[in-house]
Structure 1
Amino acid sequence: MPTTEPTGAGARPALAPELARRCYLDMLTARRIDEEAVALQRQGVFPAYVSLRGQEAAQVAGALAIDAERDFAFPTYREMGVALALGVDMPGYMASHRALWHGGLYDPAASRFAPINAVVGGPVPHAVGWAVGERLRGGPGCAVAYFGDGASSEGDVHEAMNFAGVYGAPVVFFCQNNRWALSVPNERQVAGGSVAARAAGYGMPGTAVDGNDAAAVHTAMAEALERARSGGGPSLIEALTYRVEPHSTSDDPTRYRDLAEEHAWRERDPIPALRARMEADGSGDEAFFTEAEKRAAERAEAVRDAVAAAPEPDGSELFTHVFREPTEELARQRRVWREEVEL
């Protein structure tokens, strides 16, 4: 039966010291890149941006359980921390937020990280399709499908989970439940109050974990991936976290939620929480945390400068990679565009 209480309610999992240090550095780096990205939007470099602040543990700790040699992650538009943990070229990833190219300028096949998908629930059926194909070819990989609590109400997600359950696809459905589907709270769009509980209807285990507890997330993801690799089929993980920033830089959350709620969740910040556990168990000392801050800031600044300086693509690329064989209408539009830009 699915577990609907966070793993953290009982015995708390722990991270090995080296893994904890890697996780902390990546979480902190994701936070610093996120801050630079918001600043770039305010400066007009990015037309818009979606922040992951508060969800670093859910993204980074889970991604560190993924095997980048054989698995494949299918992200939404908010999984910058997953991209970072998997070693994706970050200026190439951030190029999508600057609107330089659909899905980013990195290599999805080499990165094992699919192009950014802004369709709500869109990555989920893609992940299942890849997982079924991987099983049919006898490959060892698993797919990880990322989606939010709002996307869990989409028909595509239900169909994909049912298909995966019927065919035993090696896929992990990873829901970051950040409590708000844009301006709609959980209680108004998740019947029964739990995404994890729905897993039973698709013949798979569902587990809810504290999404701000890096060790709990990592443990849940590692267990789900191992289950899929051993032929156990799909799993659903619901990482209970919170979106402390607006849905995007175009959003005003003061119109629909209480500031006191935001402040309470900021006190549950996953980065200081991981630091406290590392200090308590000896995984990190003051020298490590000082060096991590330095490295994270330097990496964030390098990513900022690289994506801001990246050249804009030629306008003719509006018409490439649309159809394998261009249609007459597309050719006409390209001629009209060329005539206009050459005036």
Structure 2
Amino acid sequence: MRVSNDGSADLVQLLTPEGERRKHPDYRCDLDDAAIRDLYRDLVLTRRIDTEATALQRQGELGIWASLLGQEAAQIGSGRALRPQDHAFPTYREHGVAWCRGVDPLRLLGLFRGVDQGGWDPRETNFHLYTIVIGAQTLHATGYAMGIQRDGAVGTGDADRDAAVIAYFGDGATSQGDVNEAFIWASVLNAPVVFFCQNNQWAISEPIERQSRIPLYQRAMGFGFPGVQVDGNDVLACHAVATAALQRAREGQGPTLVEAFTYRMGAHTTSDDPTR
């Protein structure tokens, strides 16, 4: 991680806002043209699923829906960096990661309709069930990471065996005790877990300025592991940063905090009205 004189790391970008490729000294996109087209396809399909689910909720077919609008790049980029043996622990908004892990979108709809109590079998996709309690999944992820570490599935040099864990959460969750507790356990025990924070600027209606005086990724320094901030709207950068962090975990080098700086383009859920 490149650190500037004031102690802050550069925002990792591999695409300019105009869509031009940009070089970064520490991260690069090693994907071929076909893989990049697949990422774009994932972005389009994920947004389409989200649009249709929002419409279904407005028609009364779903009880609620948590839109990912604006966060597709962060989820698809990091989701496609996972290997089959890696395990993901989501919140209730990681529909893009669910898509990457092979979860049928109909299972998501059943969950939000209230006719499916679980949604899917995590053992089939290495994608845990949605966690409604804010921040709780970071402890689940850390515990699972400690487990695979003790099973000898970390740092063997075998690409088909070495595994990592990724925990998704939002900026609001960083104020929860569970998240900070997970940081401590992961750091002290060198757990192979990536903490992937999608900073969409809002914790329901609370702006990020009221939650933290410093960029969120810098908090990692106080816990003793690296933090990096990536452009959450840059799918190539998100893929590159997540790939590096996951590989670091698989090699037994411990946790990383990734802050994907992005924007929530809609309400917190379809049951919230941000205009009030």
Shorter chain as normaliser: what TM range? 0.7 to 0.9
In structure 2, C-alpha distance between the alignment counterparts of 1:3 and 1:239, rounded to whole Å: 15
Question: 8 Å contact 2:204–2:268 — kept in the other structure?
Answer: yes
Offset, 1:94: 2.4
1:153 aligned partner, one-letter code: S
Alignment of 1:207-222 (within 5 A): 207-222=228-243
In structure 1, C-alpha distance between the alignment counterparts of 2:264 and 2:137, rounded to whole Å: 20
4+ residue runs over 6 A deviation? none
In structure 2, C-alpha distance between the alignment counterparts of 1:45 and 1:245, rounded to whole Å: 19
Offset, 1:90: 2.0
Residue in 1 aligned with 2:79?
63
Residue in 2 aligned with 1:261?
none
Residue 102 of structure 1 pairs with residue 117 of structure 2: yes
Residue in 1 aligned with 2:196?
174
In structure 2, C-alpha distance between the alignment counterparts of 1:21 and 1:224, rounded to whole Å: 23
Normalised to the residue count of structure 2, the TM-score between the two structures is: 0.88
Question: 8 Å contact 1:103–1:117 — kept in the other structure?
Answer: no
Alignment of 1:217-256 (within 5 A): 217-255=238-276
In structure 2, C-alpha distance between the alignment counterparts of 1:168 and 1:48, rounded to whole Å: 38
Deviations 1:184-208 (A, max 9, x none): 000001232x110000111111000
Q: Secondary structure at the match of 2:50?
A: helix
1:243 aligned partner, one-letter code: R
Gaps of 5+ in 2: 15-21, 154-161
In structure 2, C-alpha distance between the alignment counterparts of 1:85 and 1:49, rounded to whole Å: 19
Offset, 1:103: 3.6
Residue in 2 aligned with 1:89?
104
Q: Secondary structure at the match of 2:148?
A: helix
Residue in 2 aligned with 1:130?
144
Offset, 1:252: 1.2
Deviations 1:240-279 (A, max 9, x none): 0000010000111123xxxxxxxxxxxxxxxxxxxxxxxx
Residue in 1 aligned with 2:213?
191
For the aligned residues, what is the CA RMSD? Answer: 1.4
In structure 2, C-alpha distance between the alignment counterparts of 1:215 and 1:30, rounded to whole Å: 16
Question: 8 Å contact 2:67–2:266 — kept in the other structure?
Answer: yes
Q: Secondary structure at the match of 1:66?
A: coil
In structure 2, C-alpha distance between the alignment counterparts of 1:94 and 1:215, rounded to whole Å: 29
Q: In the alignment, which of 43, 57, 78 is matched to residue 27 of structure 1?
A: 43
Gaps of 5+ in 1: 256-343
In structure 2, C-alpha distance between the alignment counterparts of 1:103 and 1:49, rounded to whole Å: 16
Question: 8 Å contact 1:175–1:239 — kept in the other structure?
Answer: yes
In structure 2, C-alpha distance between the alignment counterparts of 1:88 and 1:5, rounded to whole Å: 34
Q: Cα distance 1:3–1:65, how it changes in 2: closer, same or farther (>3 A)?
A: farther
Residue 117 of structure 1 pairs with residue 107 of structure 2: no
How many residues are paired up?
252
Deviations 1:282-334 (A, max 9, x none): xxxxxxxxxxxxxxxxxxxxxxxxxxxxxxxxxxxxxxxxxxxxxxxxxxxxx
Q: Secondary structure at the match of 2:257?
A: strand
Select between 5-14 and 161-170 the one with higher mean Cα deviation.
5-14
2:36 aligned partner, one-letter code: A
Q: In the alignment, which of 173, 186, 197 is matched to residue 164 of structure 1?
A: 186
**Bigger CA radius of gyration:** 1
Offset, 1:3: 5.0
2:272 aligned partner, one-letter code: D
Question: 8 Å contact 1:172–1:237 — kept in the other structure?
Answer: yes
Paired-residue identity, %: 48
Residue 145 of structure 1 pairs with residue 159 of structure 2: no
Residue in 2 aligned with 1:42?
58
Offset, 1:102: 3.0
Offset, 1:122: 1.4
Q: Secondary structure at the match of 2:113?
A: coil
Offset, 1:101: 2.4
Deviations 1:204-233 (A, max 9, x none): 110000000001100000000111111110
Question: 8 Å contact 2:91–2:130 — kept in the other structure?
Answer: yes
In structure 2, C-alpha distance between the alignment counterparts of 1:8 and 1:222, rounded to whole Å: 14
Question: 8 Å contact 1:3–1:206 — kept in the other structure?
Answer: no
Question: 8 Å contact 2:138–2:182 — kept in the other structure?
Answer: yes
Question: 8 Å contact 1:3–1:208 — kept in the other structure?
Answer: no
Counting helix residues as a fraction of each chain, which structure ranks higher? 1
